[in-house]
Chains A and B, each alone.
Chain A
Amino acid sequence: MNKLFQNASIGFKIILISALFAAIFLGVSFSYVVLHVRSMLIAEAIKSLQSDLQSEKEKVEIYADQVKGIVLALKGTPPVQGIIRARTNGGIDRLDNSTLVQWQNRLQAIFSAEMAASGIYDQLRFIDKDGREVVRVNLVDGKPHAVPESELQYKGDRDYFLETRALSDDSVYVSHTQLNREGNPPTVSVPYKPVVRYSSPVFQKQTGTWSGVLVANVLTDRLIRKNSVLGSRFDLYVADAEGYFVVHPDTTKEWGGPDDLGTGFNLRGEFPGASFDGQSGVIYEGDDVLAYVRVQFDKNDPSRDWIVLERVPSSVIFGSINSTVASAIFVGFATFVLLFFIFRFAIRRLLSPLQDLAVGTDRIGTGDFDTEVPITSQDEIGRVAEAFNRMADKLKVLYSSLEDQVHEKTKNLDDKVTDLEKTQRAMTNVLEDIEAEKERAKAMLASIGDGLIVLDKDERILLVNKSFEALLGWKESEVRGKKLTQVVPMLDASGTLVSEESRLITKTLKEKKKETTQDRSVQYRRKDGSHFPVAITVSPILSDEQVAGAVEVFRDITKETEVDKAKTEFVSLASHQLRTPLTSINWYTEILLGGDAGEVNEEQKRYLHEIYDGGKRMVELVNALLNVSRIELGTFIVEPKATDVVALLASVVDEQKTAIEQRHISVSVDTREWSTLYNADPKLLRMIFQNLLSNAVKYTPPGGSIQITVAGKVKGQTYGTVTLAEDSFCFSITDSGYGIPANQKDKIFTKLFRADNVRTMDTDGTGLGLYIVKSIVDHSGGHIWFVSEEHKGTTFFFILPNAGMVRQEGSRALGS
């Protein structure tokens, strides 16, 4: 709906809105008017109805009063008195000698004349004081008929008779309206004769004695209809004071009262809820209007009132309106249609310039700036048209200037594009170079002789090189994305599978540090199940301190291992081979020296000693060389166990007792600051002690002294010249010996080095001892250093971790 409205033309919109507006306006005002007129008409109708009723009521009341007068008049006629006189005088009127009968006939004649003249009486009677009818004239077939003496009736018990008897001379009794009853018992005469009895007491003129009653039975409907137009136009309802209908459009509903037919139809039943208490009023029953008036037959007695209603049906009231409304609607509609067309035409005319405007805009849109829109008026639309034309002119100017600018800019752009193209070509060249580099790098990578694995931070293989494939038998496509530890099992020295947590890659990724295999016993298993020894280095790939992955390089060290093995075996063999002849020399010399082959003289003894010493030195050298070779070959085993350091030291000192005593050197051992066991490899610790002590003994002149201290110190304390970085086992040995020349201090720990000052002296030494000691100390996690002054003495210090020598797995144990 909305869309439809939006897309419609202005004209349509205006018309639609106006029509809507007009319709609403007309509708509202029309309805208002109609309703108003309606209620006015109703009021009018009611008013007229009521005034009719009122006038009718008055007429009836006047006439009713007239009847009263007539009754009184009839009462005063001479026959009445004549009858009275005659009856008191035996039937003869003494006054004029007329007989009773004559007076009766005369009265009958008067009655008849009145009845015929007025037409409203059903009976006119004179009843004597005993209640006997004296004269009675009935209306029979529309003609007065004097009733003969034999048919006169006794009415002495009738209420009207009794009531009237009590009245004064000038009063007239008015009865309720009732259906006339005749006979004994009194039965309702048929056809129904509703009568109202007017009666007045008769008094004898002379005596003033009450002598009877004059009664006139008035036909009520005739009373009403004779004198009014009531019931002629509209339905007439008349009810007595108790509400029982006297007149009803449905005649069966008349005379419902208990004294009459007893049907019970009454006002309350007909018009429930309506009130008839006022003198007049209006009742609405549906669309009909009923107006009522109270007709008072006796102003002093409301029980004699009649309620007269006239019903005006709605069709009558509204009849006039409806036709008016119908014609009004028609007129309205016709007007509406006419207006519509006029409006439409006007709008069209008014808005057609807009159409031109729209067309003009389209034309400008195509680039025709010479477009002009016709200006047909000076109103707003006209002004827009003017503005449009001006705009078109301006656009023309603007456009041409724009064209110039565009032209210029385009030229700029073209130049820029050319530059860009040049740059692009240069870039392409660079990219090609990069590509070439990349290819070279790739080729280099592929040709790296060692196996290369690039892993992500979850240990998954990202990339491997050709060597990997060759060494392990897996293709890159088979292993990419898989975890290294799953694809390539690692075996340790004993051939057991190494767990994932113990793998180097795991350690590297966790601790962000480079890890290298420490010995040559680690193996990788190939795809086909065979295995080979490897040297592995894993380095983390760090980006912003975070581990992004790792790179592993590994080498097949089968050759090296074999070489190692060969070397080891060679050394073993060599040392073994060297030892045998040495043993031979020593033992034979020992036998000779021992005199087991005969006596030897002093000179012989001397020479034999030289041989023996030489042999011993050789043995020492061979032992030292063997250790050095073990050190050189790689790691040696450090197997710490709880060692009684004090006892060990004591035993070492004891071993060298002979030499110590020979040179008269005093050796003191202070182990007061170390009381517990210490986790050391006893063999290695012994070697350290032995070496340091033998050096101290060797290089101290006779009579010198050696002090040994063992202590435990805590982190931060100073020991010797060093501040301890951790709790340490601290050892020092101080001698009062030759000292170490300052310029040779840096070489002290090197292989086969002997300082000049001791070489000139007659001391022997392999030059390997300190090298071995330093290697042991360093390998066990400790540190060794010395302070020395030539000719004064030397102190060697070494410290080891308080917790103990660091355990080292290895393939060799150093020995002696």
Chain B
Amino acid sequence: MKTFRKKIYAAAGYTTLFLGSGRKEFRPDKKMPSFEQYLKETAEGTIQMVPHPEFDEGIIGSFMPSRFLKQGNIPGFLPFMVPSLQNKPCTGVEGACGTGGRAIAEGIKTVLSDLADSVFVSGFEVQNTVKAVYGADILAGAAYYQKERKSGHAFFFPGIFSERAGAYYQRYGYRQTRQAMARWYENSIINARMNPKAQEFQNITPNLYELALTDPSREKFVPHLNLFDCSKVSDGAASIVIASEEGLKKLGISLKDSVEIIAMGAAEADITQDPQDLTELSTTAMAGKKALEQAGIVKDDIAFLELHDCFTISGLLALEALGFAQAGKAPEFILEGNIQAHGKIPINLSGGLGGFGHPTGATGVRQLVDLWAQLTGKAANQIHLKSPFGMMVSMGGNDKTVTTIIAKSTLED
């Protein structure tokens, strides 16, 4: 894949608190923050970092506001969020849990097309408007509803990824895989504790690993996953600016406060078809390959990852899809400590979906915000990076809608 015809940058990233069970502020019996509040907050958060916030376009991603909020025509909220977007082209994007990645991709393409020098890109979801038992029906829309909902588990996606976990246990072994998934969970919470806006920031539970080792139970939940293997329902929003070099100048953003997006890999799979191999995320593998090829780097050049761990098993499989471990070897890789903050390839320094939270439409944008923050030295959980490259994977549905982004620091060593 060719490199971009001109340099593309990301800057001024902002994420709201991701609210859901786990946070002390989460009081569903009382008035909860409205989606308008999340939108306003994230936009103002980004705008504050932009000296001249006159954007050429706006993009907003959300998965199912029409059902969670009975609200459509989401692009109409962009001028509400960012006054300078009044009378500018505004677009809504949807790709299930991969919405954020696709929203970023659209922003990149618009700037590459020269139709815009700068794009305000945002993503949000407010899901706690309904009880989880009904939310599951809505989220099932990320799969092929007509075919899959009836036979699916009451809470749907845990059942889907439980099948993947079951297939993985059968092929590669149960005990070590469970241990790796428990370590993944532990890593998520340890990292979330470093991020004040993370849903699991206030989680002080001791013995995380032992807790996460609880054997799955079909009677209590799903056959091959326990509750610690699952990200929770969240509300939140995130936003970031995508711009050309010219765009950055117009906005008044300096290069050192930006990161360069050097690659974007996108791949889509037929939603009506079952995965060919439950132990592989083939679409993720394709998108990852495209991005690495475009970037002209290899996986070992990547300093850290933000992966789409809606479930611990999906994080583990993503690791193999990107080639960081061979098929069946991700558990070993994880158990060697490689994914920790000071490991070989730190994963989800934000806490990831399991630790930071997962408002479906916001997550992909939040991931890029975290790449940007880490690469510009602004991250809450800042580490010393071994290279200037960070990579994210934004996945929608059961490995159907995947966008991978590789960003590069503009800072001198």
Q: Say if A and B assemble together.
A: no
